[in-house]
Amino acid sequence: MSDNELDRKDKKAGGPSQPEQGEELHQPEAVSGTANKDIDFIKEKVKERPVNKRKLLKRTIITASMAVIFGLIACFTFLVLEPVFSNWLYPEEDPAPVQLQEEAANEEMLPEDMVLETESEEEKESTPVTSTVVQKIDMSVSDYQKLYSNLYKLVQDAAKSMVTVTGVVSDVDWFNNTYENKGQTAGLIVADNGKELMILTEKETVEQAEKVHVTFCDSTQVTATLKQSDPTTGLAVICVNLTDIAEETKEIIKAAKLGSSNSGSGLLATPVIALGRPMGNVSSVAYGMITSMDTVLNLTDGNYRLLTTDIYGSTNGSGVLINLNGQVLGIISQRNNSSDAKNLVSALGISDLKSNIEKLSNGQAMATLGIYGTDVPEEIQESQGVPAGAYVTGIVMDSPAMVAGIQSGDVVVKMGTEEITTFQEYNKEMMSLVPDSQITITIMRQVQDEYQEMAVDVILDTLK
């Protein structure tokens, strides 16, 4: 078989064959054309996606809304938690409890005291003692003017402790129109606990008021809130935040000086000044003297001395009585006057009110046992064998005393571990107790011809 035939067989069999000399190779050109087509597909131009303005605006609004909501939540969280963290990191100190100065002897000088201060012991020995029973003193009109001018200077100084309290209550008339009804009374600045100014005033004006305003002696006005009230005496204490008072006003006003109204202080026929609203008008003033101090008001769980004067005032008067040293002797209270002396200015003695004022200023509610009582005189103790203590003269209906079985004629001799020898000591002990507390009260009860000791457990109630 020749070589040409062999080549033809190889071609038919599909086997590789070598190109003959002089022949051209066309196969690589076909492969190059296919590669170019692939590259052309890869080089196709990709168009950018068109912007959807509506969707973009929607997303922008959602993002802004979420930012606002987040900001509001952050602000609310800060406002809620900031006081908590501030109190935790910088705890706020509680205001100091109000403690009135203990009562001292009456500071008012008697004539004999002035003689002792101006004369030494040597002068007494060398100078014969002489006394003038009656001495005539000629006084001109100018002397009277000077006298009243000096009294008014004392009034101006004492007026720095006085305020006008206004209670505002909303009401509706026949035509369903709302209007404000205002009631006014006098108030006395009694204490400053470092954060609040305590003002003693009448309970009736402020207890049901929706808003309470206080006007100081320089005519500036601030808002006050009720601290606590005492239904027995009809008094209440309201408070004003010191931050609400202007610095100029703080420099002018001051707490009142409280004197003594005890029976041993020699107040009978003492000159006094009534200021506040004794005539029913703002800043009214009257001069007079104390005519009686023997009247004692037997009220629930306490007795209060009533000071009467010869000052003719208003039946709706309010304010205070002060002595010539500027000390407060009593709080004007016209509701306790007798029917034949309604317009004469009377006042509750300040000595009997100091414990009440202190407790009201500290915001403490009054506890009550519910008895009326008095002291047991020494002659009765000796002649009839009645033990010393708080003698029960009456019981308030449905009171803790009635529930515990205390009766009229019993004598309270011990409260807890405290010995009781007078009704004043009983009242003082009651002021130290709080409502809903339980206490063991020891009483002496007459059985036939002798007094026998009994102990009763009592749960005190809130004075209403």
Residue 407 — very low, low, confident or very high, per pLDDT cuts 50/70/90? very high
Q: What is the pLDDT of residues 186-213, one digit of tens each?
A: 999 999 998 999 999 999 999 889 999 9
- Bridge partners (DSSP) of residue 396 are none
Q: How far apart are CA 220 and CA 114, in angstroms?
A: 41
Residue 21 — very low, low, confident or very high, per pLDDT cuts 50/70/90? very low
User: What global pTM score does this model have?
Assistant: 0.74
Residue 144 — very low, low, confident or very high, per pLDDT cuts 50/70/90? confident
Q: What is the pLDDT of residues 434-452, one digit of tens each?
A: 999 999 999 999 998 899 9
Q: What is the pLDDT of residues 213-235, one digit of tens each?
A: 999 999 999 999 999 999 999 99
Q: If you average pLDDT over every residue of the chain, what do you get?
A: 83
Residue 100: per-residue pLDDT: 75
Phi, psi of 444 (to 5 degrees): -110, 125
Residue 47: per-residue pLDDT: 62
Please report the domains of the chain, with CATH numbers, ordered by start residue. Answer: 160-252 (2.40.10.10), 263-361 (2.40.10.10), 367-462 (2.30.42.10)
Q: Give the largest Cα separation in the chain, rounded.
A: 189
- pLDDT above 70 (res 363): yes
- Torsion angle, CA of 340/342/343/346, rounded to 10 degrees? 110
Percent share of the chain, pLDDT over 70: 77
Residue 22: per-residue pLDDT: 46
Q: Residue 449's Cα: distance from chain center in Å?
A: 51
Most confident range (mean pLDDT) of 84-98, 119-133, 250-264, 369-383 is 369-383
Query: Interior CA angle at 116 toward 112 and 122, to 5°?
Result: 140
**Stretch 100-126: mean pLDDT, rounded?**
47
Q: Burial of 307 by CB count in 10 Å (0-12 exposed, 13-18 middle, 19+ buried)?
A: buried
Compute CA distances 401 → 303, 370, 373, 426, 448, whole Å.
17, 6, 12, 14, 23
**Stretch 233-244: mean pLDDT, rounded?**
95
- pLDDT above 70 (res 399): yes
Residue 112: per-residue pLDDT: 40
Percent share of the chain, pLDDT over 90: 58
Q: Residue 395's Cα: distance from chain center in Å?
A: 32
- pLDDT above 80 (res 44): no
- pLDDT above 80 (res 413): yes
Residue 98: per-residue pLDDT: 75
Q: How far apart are CA 282 and CA 263, in angstroms?
A: 31
With H, G, I as helix, E, B as strand and everything else as coil, classify residue 265: helix
Q: How far apart are CA 293 and CA 312, in angstroms?
A: 17
- Bridge partners (DSSP) of residue 178 are 172
DSSP 121-157: HHHHHHS-----S-------HHHHHHHHHHHHHHHHH
With H, G, I as helix, E, B as strand and everything else as coil, classify residue 52: coil
